[in-house]
Amino acid sequence: MADTAQVNQLPENAIEKGVKGIKKFQKMPPDTPVLPSLYTTMKTELLVNDGNIATVFHSKPLPQQIWWAEYDVDLSQMYFVTVKAKILGLGMRIWDPIHTQLQHAKLASLIKVSDDGKAGFPFVVPLVVRHFTLSD
């Protein structure tokens, strides 16, 4: 409780001034359940075929092995769950018509693309599509 009260009493510009205990752009603790999004850490592209596969191309190795993927229809956001139970967001807005096709996808394929444009072997995981997650 004392920590919360102390933070609430800090001036508005405390972060810019570098008040002790608060650091601008501080690294996340290792036990944080959410990892930085793919789009903010590497080149990322999303394609969805007419079948049931969403393909994510990425330019760097993934931070952790992916267990499954999720697509939230209401938020138009795609997330990945790692084997260490961390959440890794795609980090990019999903526009129509990709949004429409993604609602019917059953699998997500992740493919690392090298600097010279060569695609690696696809890593395929189940894709869970979540409908009606927001309520009035």
Please report whether residue 6 resides in a domain.
no
* Amino acid 44: pLDDT: 94
- Are 94 and 38 spatial neighbours (Cβ–Cβ below 8 Å)? no
Residues 78, 102 contacting (CB under 8 angstroms): yes
Alpha-carbon distances, residue 120 vs 60, 80, 111, 117, 124 (angstroms)? 11, 19, 6, 10, 12
pTM for the full model?
0.71
Residue 84 resides in a domain:
yes
- Nearest Cα to Cα of residue 34 among 89, 78, 75: 89
Domains in the chain, number: 1
Question: Where are the extended beta strands (E) located within the chain?
Answer: 34-35, 44-48, 53-58, 66-72, 77-82, 87-89, 107-112, 123-130
Q: What is the pLDDT of residue 135?
A: 59
Q: Which domain holds residue 68?
A: 28-130
The series of mean pLDDT values per 10 residues for the chain, 136 residues long, is 43 50 56 83 92 92 94 93 92 88 94 92 94 65
> How many CA atoms, within 13 angstroms, populate the side-chain half-sphere of residue 96?
1
Given this model, what pLDDT does residue 108 score? 96
Which residue in this structure is represented by tokens 């949004």?
Answer: 99
On whether residue 33 sits in a domain, the answer given is yes
Q: Is position 109 within any domain?
A: yes
Instruction: Tell me, yes or no, whether 60 lies in a domain.
Output: yes
Query: In this structure, what are the phi and psi dihedrals at residue 7, rounded to the nearest 5 degrees?
Result: -65, -40
Write the pLDDT tens digit of every residue in 47-79. Answer: 998 878 999 999 999 999 999 999 999 889 999
Q: What pLDDT shows up at residue 56?
A: 96
